[in-house]
A and B are shown apart, each in its own frame.
Chain A
Amino acid sequence: MILKKSRNLVSRIKKYFQVKMHLPISDKIELNILHQNSHQAEKNKVKFNNFNLLCLNIMSSPGAGKTRLLEITLEDLSKKFQSAVLEGDMTTNLDAARLEKLNIPVVPITTGRACHLDANMVSGGLKLLEKKINPDLLDILLVENVGNLVCPAEFEIGEHFKIALLSITEGEDKPLKYPIMFREADLILITKVDLLPHLNFDINELKSNIASTNPKADVIEISSITKSGFDLWQDWISKKILKFKNN
């Protein structure tokens, strides 16, 4: 007690002289640089939870097959679960227009110069979605992030799970080259596996690189052409929705 009091006194005297002599004062903060984004992401998550709405953040490099994956997935998924999409794109609404054909609520988020979605953008997208449908009626919100293997990995949006896609045409080494994205993912979908017979590609090496970077991630091989792996992916989503709803 006495020690604590004397420490406080020393600290106050030190500060007094620092101010008087215009010496710099160091204020310990220990705050996350992305605190402003994380704070909004937490608010988004609370909203999702209040709506009883599972949110998935779907990320990959451009052209890995996110939009095609959603088109095929939602054809079946929307028969069982009320689904909606927030569609992130840098400059166009092309992907959103494709998904709107499935007659589900889709909100495009055009990011302009930003190469990822952040929590504020998703919050804005959610407000627009609320004008289209009462979110209490929804079971799942799929957020298609901007195609990029770097930036989206560091920006939380309030999602419950992160899904990373990796197409086999990108090469076996990508989990090692972009480790944060694949480390953060809860599920990694290896896409375009129908091309395997035509490529000099070692899928076991890719899986080994995924395991090195993120041994805890679930991994599913999938093809939007042959539809192989879609049963496992649909099953993964259904289980997550049901578990979320039962909690």
Chain B
Amino acid sequence: MHEVDMTKCLILSIEEWAEKKNKKKIVVEKINLKIGEFTCVEPISLINTFNAAVLGSWLDSSEIKIETIPFEGKCSKCNRLYFPKKENGYKSPCCNFNLEEIISGRELKIASIDFKEK
């Protein structure tokens, strides 16, 4: 359900960006997002919510493209990078250490926007 509020935030950010570009003179084609695996976002839900929210608006023809960023941690004992798994309690497979440092996977980003000028 929080995807609805995330979509609201996303649309507000796109609106803010578009105002700087002169909104009336552009057509947004694609919004490229980077979503980490270690977030509370379900990509399909976010896409569906966005599509429903922009129906009939100036963003109606735009689409969301999501790049999933893997969840990667760093072993605090030997500094090796690893992909934490909940089955293993997110511990490092090399030294069985608790997950202290997250390298990637917490991203919730608008990476770029593809648009055309009218």
Chain A interface residues (CB < 8 Å from chain B): 19, 22-37, 113-116, 118, 150-151, 153-155, 176-177, 179-180, 183, 208-209, 211-213, 215-216
Contact = CB atoms under 8 A, between A and B. Distances in A.
Q: Is the interface of A mostly helix, strand, loop or mixed?
A: mixed
Contact of B113 (A29, A115, A212): A29
B6 to A, nearest CB: 6
Nearest to B31: A29
B68 to A, nearest CB: 14
B48 interface: no
16 contacts: A22-B116, A26-B112, A27-B17, A31-B17, A32-B110, A33-B6, A34-B6, A35-B13, A36-B9, A115-B1, A116-B5, A151-B40, A154-B39, A154-B108, A212-B90, A215-B98
Interface of B: 1-2, 4-6, 8-10, 12-13, 17, 21, 29-30, 32-33, 38-41, 86, 89-91, 98-100, 108-117
A28 B111 contact: yes
A198 B103 CA distance: 41
Contacts, number: 110
A23 B116 contact: yes
Contacts of A36: 8-9, 12-13
A200 to B, nearest CB: 20
B116 A25 contact: yes
Contact of B110 (A30, A153, A208, A213): A30
B8 to A, nearest CB: 8
B100 A216 contact: yes
A171 to B, nearest CB: 14
B2 A151 contact: yes
A115 B110 CA distance: 23
Contacts of A154: 2, 6, 39-41, 108
A57 to B, nearest CB: 15
B98 to A, nearest CB: 4
A33 B47 CA distance: 13
A30 B111 contact: yes
B103 to A, nearest CB: 14
Contacts of A115: 1-2
A32 B112 contact: no
Contacts of A208: 89
B38 A34 contact: no
B114 A212 contact: no
Contact of A176 (B40, B86, B98, B115): B86
A219 B100 CA distance: 16
A226 B2 CA distance: 36
